[in-house]
Amino acid sequence: MYSYCSYYDYYDYSDYDVISALVGLTGLAVIWVIALLLIALMIVAMWILFKKAGKPGWAAVVPFYDQYTLYEITWGNGWRFLMLLIPIYNIVLAILTYIRLAKAFGKDEGYAVGLVFLPQVFVPMLAFGSAAYHGVPGVTSAPAAASQEWVGYQQPQQPVYQQPQQPTYQQPVYQQPQQTTYQQPVYQQPQQPAQPQQPTQPQQPQDSGFQLTFCPNCGAKVEGSGKFCQNCGRPL
């Protein structure tokens, strides 16, 4: 009797299983590599942040001590990280720690949200950027001067070479000497001596035509130009 056999009854699934296994292992290896790179990036970023805050950078590679240092620069008390062992509260505490970390480096609430949801991005940005450690109200353990230690490498300014100015030669301006003009002397005729003024003749008293005299004999008034006294008759 003829029996029906499908195509799948003769197909060898061994090759398909090998390919699937290789793809799965490759994907898993890529995920592990990416995870290791992110972990290394976070360790380096926390190292720089601890140095900015005046703490030893190697604390970022020591388990538990890295959390102690993180809570010391954000809360002022490193042993506070033990409260992460409390369920539910540990989530709230982690969020508050990221908010205080943003404030400690002079960032606002928007940057704190980025630290909470994307710490693998915003923590390296905070570390490799120019943000300096300003401290948190109530935190006195970290020196303020340490914030200036890891601000970032600043390339020294190259001295600007200024080419010396070439001396400009100014051609002397030739000025033609002025010719002296000969002025002919003006002959002035000597003045004639002034003639002496003739003495003026004294003016004769004008005869008014009326004379008033007195008689030498009797003393009477004689009016007019008579030559005899009208009173006594004697000649004047």
158-179 per-position pLDDT tens digit = 666 677 777 676 776 767 767 6
Measured distance CA(78)–CA(80) in Å, rounded: 5
Measured distance CA(206)–CA(190) in Å, rounded: 45
Token digits of residue 155: 């390339």
Measured distance CA(34)–CA(236) in Å, rounded: 171
Length of the chain: 236
Measured distance CA(178)–CA(185) in Å, rounded: 21
Token digits of residue 166: 């070439």
Residues 6+ apart with CB under 8 A from 86: 93
Q: Is 208's pLDDT higher than 80?
A: no
Q: Is 144's pLDDT higher than 50?
A: no
Measured distance CA(112)–CA(74) in Å, rounded: 13
Rounded mean pLDDT, 171-189: 68
Q: Do residues 220 and 229 make contact, with C-beta atoms less than 8 angstroms apart?
A: yes
* Burial tier of 24 (Cβ tally within 10 Å: 0-12, 13-18, 19+): exposed
First-residue to last-residue Cα distance in the chain = 223
Rounded mean pLDDT, 19-42: 88
Rounded mean pLDDT, 109-117: 91
Rounded mean pLDDT, 29-34: 91
pTM of the model: 0.50
